[in-house]
Amino acid sequence: MARNRLQRLTERKSWQRAQEWDVAADELRPQIIQLVDTTFLHSAIPSVVVKTIKDEITWDIMHICIEEMFADIVEPLFYVAYLDPVYRSGHFPCGWEGKDFPSGWDGNLMGGKLKVF
């Protein structure tokens, strides 16, 4: 929901800039995947679990980058404020405690919080 909200706001504020979204994602994706793959190169975590974790981390990092990219037109809503500090501190967000983000989420966290490992 946070990604959807960011994209909608970006399109409303600058349709032209919003067209850069997919191009940036295509450029970032291989770099992020390489970073994440390197991080889990020698992991004792079962491979089925590693795939899920790697996918989540890849998307989180992608959205942190995208929020930063468009921060001049849309204030970061979620990824920079909540997930970036978790990753920077060496931890992993592993869930959300609280109400689910509703479809059409408005940016209000509704008193919830991240579960962090």
Question: For residue 20, what are the domain limits?
Answer: 2-91
d(CA 19, CA 90): 33
User: According to the model, what pLDDT value does residue 40 have?
Assistant: 80
pLDDT digits (tens, 9 = 90+) for 42-69: 778 888 888 889 999 999 999 999 999 9
- Judge whether 104 lies within some domain: no
Q: Count structural domains, the chain.
A: 1
This prediction has a pTM of 0.88
Rounded (5°) CA angle 27-31-37: 145
User: According to the model, what pLDDT value does residue 105 have?
Assistant: 79
d(CA 104, CA 9): 11
Residues in the chain with pLDDT < 70? Answer: none
User: According to the model, what pLDDT value does residue 45 have?
Assistant: 83
- Judge whether 108 lies within some domain: no
d(CA 99, CA 111): 8
- Judge whether 103 lies within some domain: no
